[in-house]
Amino acid sequence: LRNEIYGVGFDNVDINEATDIALALMDREHASYVVTPNAEILWMCHKEEKLRKVVNDADMVLPDGIGVVYGAKILKRPLKSKVAGCDFAEKLMDKMQNTGKSVFLFGAKPGVADKAAENLKEKYPGLIISGTNDGYFKDDKPIIEKINSAKPDLLLVCLGVPKQEFWMSENKDKLNAKVMAGLGGSLDVFAGVVERAPAVWQKLGLEWLYRLIKEPKRIKRMSSLPLFLFAVIWQRITGK
Ligand code: UDP
């Protein structure tokens, strides 16, 4: 049962539960996919029905952002906690160490996934990284073949929203991978190309502000955050 927030159903789980569910999904025959919408993405889903469907069809939907958690609170459908995509992936890879399970890193600019693999290997020595591929391609057939011969238990799909969500949903049945997770800029973070906000900012729920200061050009995209919150407050007041 999911908590519906502005048209999207979220799994009410903390990071520990989310990673345990992902591990369990790895035992299934077919591929599953996980999405991690933030308020910006919820707003996109509100405007684009196709995206909303793909997001709701995911096997797990995690609230990546304080905006979603606030929205849930306002609507009186509280979610246990924010589960940032990056943190989810790290915790999952940590748990996958020494289990024989492998991860494939797909996305970001050429070289970034390789650098991320290098850093992750150092941080999680017991992790098997079965391959990498950048996220700039015309034809994805060779990439699908590459992934299928690697047979990863976890496939990080970092192509940005909504490309990664559509890609996972479209290719789910062609892929010999167990769990896919659409994680936006996470490979940039793992590679050290993009820095995450310091822990204090994260704790205060101000990661978005830090990101805005670092990348002011995101202001246009981020303007959907207040729009989303107003919409949620309106929904609460009018009951619609
Ligand atoms: N990206 C990609 N292929 C594309 C477009 C984007 O691999 O065709 C990558 C981009 O290099 C970056 C990530 O997707 O690593 C998107 O990062 P962003 O922080 O913008 O993620 P979002 O906020 O969209 O989830």
pLDDT above 80 for 22? yes
Q: Whole-prediction pTM value?
A: 0.94
Give the mean pLDDT of 101-117.
Answer: 98
In this structure, which residue's CA is closest to atom 18 in ligand 1?
A: 185
pLDDT above 80 for 108? yes
Q: pLDDT for 38-67, tens place per residue?
A: 999 999 999 999 999 999 999 999 999 899
Ligand 1 center–CA 173 separation, angstroms: 23
pLDDT at 50 (0 to 100): 98
pLDDT at 101 (0 to 100): 98
- List, as one string, the DSSP characters of the chain: --EEETTEEE----HHHHHHHHHHHTTSSS-EEEE---HHHHHHHHH-HHHHHHHHTSSEE---SHHHHHHHHHTT---S----HHHHHHHHHHHHTTTT-EEEEEESSTTHHHHHHHHHHHH-TT-EEEEEE-S--S--HHHHHHHHHH--SEEEEES-TTHHHHHHHHHGGG---SEEEE-TTHHHHHHTSSPPPPHHHHHTT-HHHHHHHH-GGGHHHHTHHHHHHHHHHHHHHH--
pLDDT at 205 (0 to 100): 86
pLDDT at 225 (0 to 100): 87
pLDDT at 219 (0 to 100): 87
pLDDT at 118 (0 to 100): 98
Least-confidence region, from 98-107, 146-155, 218-227: 218-227
CB of 136 shorter than 6 A to ligand 1: yes
In this structure, which residue's CA is closest to atom 24 in ligand 1?
A: 160
CB of 184 shorter than 6 A to ligand 1: yes
pLDDT above 80 for 240? no
Least-confidence region, from 126-130, 170-174, 199-203: 199-203
pLDDT at 149 (0 to 100): 98
Q: pLDDT for 158-189, tens place per residue?
A: 999 999 999 999 999 999 999 999 999 999 99
CB of 162 shorter than 6 A to ligand 1: no
In this structure, which residue's CA is closest to atom 6 in ligand 1?
A: 159
CA distance 202 to 10: 21
Q: What percent of the chain has pLDDT over 70?
A: 100
Q: pLDDT for 2-17, tens place per residue?
A: 999 999 999 999 999 9
CB of 158 shorter than 6 A to ligand 1: yes
**Type and span of the H or E element at 156:** strand 154-158
CB of 109 shorter than 6 A to ligand 1: yes
CB of 152 shorter than 6 A to ligand 1: no
CB of 185 shorter than 6 A to ligand 1: yes
Ligand 1 center–CA 184 separation, angstroms: 5
pLDDT at 239 (0 to 100): 83
